[in-house]
Amino acid sequence: MPTAAITGSGVFTPPETITNAELVAAYNAYADRWNAGNADAIAAETIVAKPYSSEDFIVAASGIESRYVMEKAGILDPDRMYPRFRARSDDEPSMMAEIAQDAIAKALAQAGLDGSDVDLVICAASNLERAYPAVAVEIQDLIGAGGFAFDMNVACSSATFGIQLAADMIKSGSVRAAVVVNPEITSGHHEWRDRDCHFIFGDVCTATVLQPATDAKGAHFRVLSTRCATEFSNNIRNNAGFLRRTRDQMEDRRDMQFMQNGRKVFKEVLPLVSQHMADHMADEGLVATDLKRLWLHQANKTMNAYIGKKVLGRDPEPGEQPNILQDYANTSSAGSIIAFSQYSDDLVAGDKGIICSFGAGYSVGSVVVERA
Question: Is residue 156 within the footprint of ligand COA (CB under 6 A)?
Answer: yes
Residue of the chain from 353, 359, 361, 365 that contacts ligand COA (CB under 6 A): 359
Nearer to ligand COA, 110 or 160 (CB): 160
What SS3 string covers 57-68? Answer: HHHHHHCCCEEE
Question: Is residue 299 within the footprint of ligand COA (CB under 6 A)?
Answer: yes
Determine the interface stretch with ligand COA among 49-57, 219-227, 272-280, 309-317 (rule: CB under 6 A): 49-57
Residue of the chain from 175, 210, 216, 265 that contacts ligand COA (CB under 6 A): 265
197 is catalytic: no
Residue of the chain from 300, 333, 341, 344 that contacts ligand COA (CB under 6 A): 300
CA distance 69 to 345: 26
Q: Number of residues in contact with ligand COA, rule: CB under 6 A?
A: 22
Identify the helix (H) or strand (E) that includes residue 173: none
Burial class (CB in 10 A: 0-12, 13-18, 19+), 180: buried
Q: Which long-range contacts (CB under 8 A, 24 or more apart) does 258-262 make?
A: 258/186, 258/189, 258/190, 258/191, 258/197, 258/200, 258/201, 259/191, 259/197, 260/197, 260/235, 260/236, 261/235, 261/236, 262/196, 262/197
Nearer to ligand COA, 192 or 221 (CB): 192
- Amino acid in position 276: H
Question: Is residue 260 within the footprint of ligand COA (CB under 6 A)?
Answer: yes
Question: Is residue 267 within the footprint of ligand COA (CB under 6 A)?
Answer: no
Q: How far is the CB of 293 from ligand COA (least distance, A)?
A: 21
Residue of the chain from 53, 140, 257, 331 that contacts ligand COA (CB under 6 A): 53
Catalytic position from the list 123, 156, 228, 356? 156
Question: Is residue 57 within the footprint of ligand COA (CB under 6 A)?
Answer: yes
CA distance 61 to 56: 8
Q: Beta strand pairing status for 352-359 and 204-212? A: unpaired
